[in-house]
């Protein structure tokens, strides 16, 4: 049982989308959670504050406000409650934003991750689980994306920082025996989501009568993954800290495990869906057609994402449960309730 393993869980990014859902699920299970977030204005801070208020309804939750790049602030996560597991989901998100704001990504995703690693090492943390991204696959055209294939050519700085996290985690697993698990998320969506993501942004524009920008003329596929499926897989993986792989052979170039207690998984629906199908599902949810403005492909984006999740399935029995139409219907209900539509 999780409770037998961890007395208190440290979760970064608890005012963010996935971090909020992970923290809430732990709290509903009766776990204690110490959260960490900077509540920045990359998107609406009021939404972040609202998520935090929901978590504060639980007696087992407290939140530290600070920057990941501030070592002293990050260190405060590890004092007092002495968490034995860290779920690191705090990061500067967004592919397009990274093109014009590169330093924000280095500060949060590289320096910040180093601070997390250092504190985990000093605190003798039993398992560090951290969020990576499908964007690390970059120019890889082999489908579905597999953790057994290389991911060495990212096409955005955001993706590069996420790949750097995986490399840095391996170093700490190798040098200090810190068990680390990286989870490459594939287009996570659902209630309490991020307003900068396409499904959320399209919803706002459709309801306000504004045209939506559809890039590459809509000719893209995404492996949309409902947030509840992500949380279930993440927490199941967190309960199984990795051990060194005795069969690992550097001559065979196997990037998903190592001779150290290190591993990387995909978390996706294993079901790539055309962007236009997602738009049609949103139109159905809200009973309103979108005015579409078709535009060329944007820099930093890829044509398709498609997750091979067989490794995670073998470890924890992961199988995505929520189809896109149902997940968007749940999101639409939350959106109406939250915004009073």
CB of 223 closer than 8 Å to CB of 270? yes
Beta strands in 134-173 (DSSP E): none
Query: What's the Cα-to-Cα distance from 87 to each of 18, 31, 35, 194, 273, rounded to whole Å?
Result: 11, 13, 10, 19, 29
Catalytic entry in 105, 158, 199, 262? 158
Range 169-177, long-range pairs (CB < 8 A, 24+ positions): 169/117, 169/128, 169/130, 169/262, 170/258, 170/260, 170/262, 172/117, 172/120, 172/121, 173/242, 173/258, 173/260, 173/261, 173/262, 174/258, 174/259, 174/260, 174/262, 176/121, 177/260, 177/261
The sign of the CA dihedral 244, 246, 250, 255 is negative
The rounded distance, in Å, linking the Cα atoms of 30 and 60 is: 8
Which pairing describes strands 85-88 and 273-274: parallel, antiparallel, or unpaired?
unpaired
SS3 202: helix
The helix (H) or strand (E) run that includes residue 131 is: strand 127-133
For the residues of 33-71, what is the DSSP string, one character each? EEEEE---SSS-HHHHHHHHHHHTTSTTEEEEE--TT-H
Whether 105 is catalytic: no
DSSP 84: S
Q: Which residues are catalytic?
A: 158
């Amino acid at each position: 049982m999780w409770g037998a393993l961890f007395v208190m869980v440290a979760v970064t990014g608890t005012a963010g989308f996935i971090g909020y859902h992970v923290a809430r699920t732990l709290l509903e299970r009766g776990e204690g959670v110490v959260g960490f977030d900077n509540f920045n204005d990359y998107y609406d801070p009021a939404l972040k504050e609202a998520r935090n208020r929901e978590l504060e309804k639980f007696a087992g939750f407290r939140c530290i406000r600070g920057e990941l790049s501030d070592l002293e602030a990050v260190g405060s996560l590890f004092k007092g409650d002495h968490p034995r597991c860290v779920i690191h989901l705090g990061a500067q998100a967004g592919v397009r934003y990274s093109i014009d704001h590169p330093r924000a990504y280095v500060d949060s995703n590289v320096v910040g991750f180093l601070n997390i690693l250092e504190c985990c090492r000093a605190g003798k943390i039993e398992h560090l689980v951290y969020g990576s991204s499908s964007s690390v696959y970059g120019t890889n055209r082999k489908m579905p994306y597999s953790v057994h294939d290389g991911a060495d050519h990212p096409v955005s700085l955001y993706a590069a920082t996420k790949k750097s996290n995986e490399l840095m985690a391996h170093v700490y697993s190798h040098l200090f025996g810190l068990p680390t698990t990286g989870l490459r998320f594939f287009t996570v969506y659902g209630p309490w989501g991020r307003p900068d993501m396409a499904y959320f942004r399209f919803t706002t524009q459709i309801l306000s009568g504004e045209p939506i920008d559809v890039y590459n003329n809509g000719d893209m596929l995404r492996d949309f993954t409902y947030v509840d499926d992500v949380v279930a897989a993440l927490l199941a993986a967190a309960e199984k800290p990795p051990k060194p792989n005795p069969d690992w052979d550097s001559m065979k170039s196997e990037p998903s495990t190592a001779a150290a207690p290190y591993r990387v998984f995909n978390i996706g629906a294993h079901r790539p869906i055309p962007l236009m199908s997602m738009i049609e599902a949103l139109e159905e949810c809200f009973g309103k057609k979108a005015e579409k403005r078709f535009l060329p492909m944007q820099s930093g984006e890829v044509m398709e994402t498609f997750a091979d999740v067989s490794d995670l399935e073998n470890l924890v029995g992961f199988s995505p449960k929520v189809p896109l139409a149902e997940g968007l219907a749940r999101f639409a209900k939350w959106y109406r309730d939250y915004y009073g539509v």
